[in-house]
Amino acid sequence: MFSRLSRKGRVRTLSALENLEIDLYLLPSPFQNNAGLVKYVTDALNRLSMFGYYSEWPAYGSTRLNQPEHRRLEFFPLSWNQIGYPGVSHGYRDFRGFLLKIAETRVKNEES
């Protein structure tokens, strides 16, 4: 089982799946002979795991199951310390689009 592998064993397994260094016919349905799905799911496992680890979710503590407007960060997440993230910045305005500047260019009429 994957959960019983060492860390190195897990990395090797995910690498083998990502690089398709496996016999696709030995996999269960719906992965059997479906290289695209194997690569997609392997990539999703990596991305979603990192997304969860580096998110603020663990810091919500006892308020994590509340509605978003009632959640509060109860402590600074360990993962933020590990990567040097400075923390939440309150007061940013919502994104309201890009400022578009259109330069006016007119072609002179050769008859005038």
What is the per-residue pLDDT across 1-30, written as a single tens digit (0 to 9) for each?
A: 889 999 999 999 999 999 999 999 999 999
Spatial contact of 14 and 45, defined as CB atoms under 8 Å apart = yes
Give the model's pLDDT for residue 58: 86
Q: Residue range 43-66: average pLDDT?
A: 90
Average pLDDT over residues 57-80: 91
Cβ within 8 Å of residue 41, ≥6 positions away:
31
Q: How confident is the model at residue 92 (pLDDT cuts 50, 70, 90)?
A: low
Categorise residue 36: left if φ over 0, alpha if ψ from -120 to 50, beta otherwise.
alpha
Q: What is the residue-averaged pLDDT of the chain?
A: 86
Is the pLDDT at 99 greater than 80? The verdict is no
Question: Token match 């580096």: residue?
Answer: 54
Across residues 56-85, what is the average pLDDT? 90
Closest CA to 73 of 55, 85, 96, 48: 55
pLDDT for 93: 62
Q: Give which of 95, 76, 72, 79 is closest to 87, Cα–Cα.
A: 76
Higher pLDDT, 100 or 53: 53
State how far the Cα of 17 lies from the Cα of 38, in Å rounded to an integer: 7
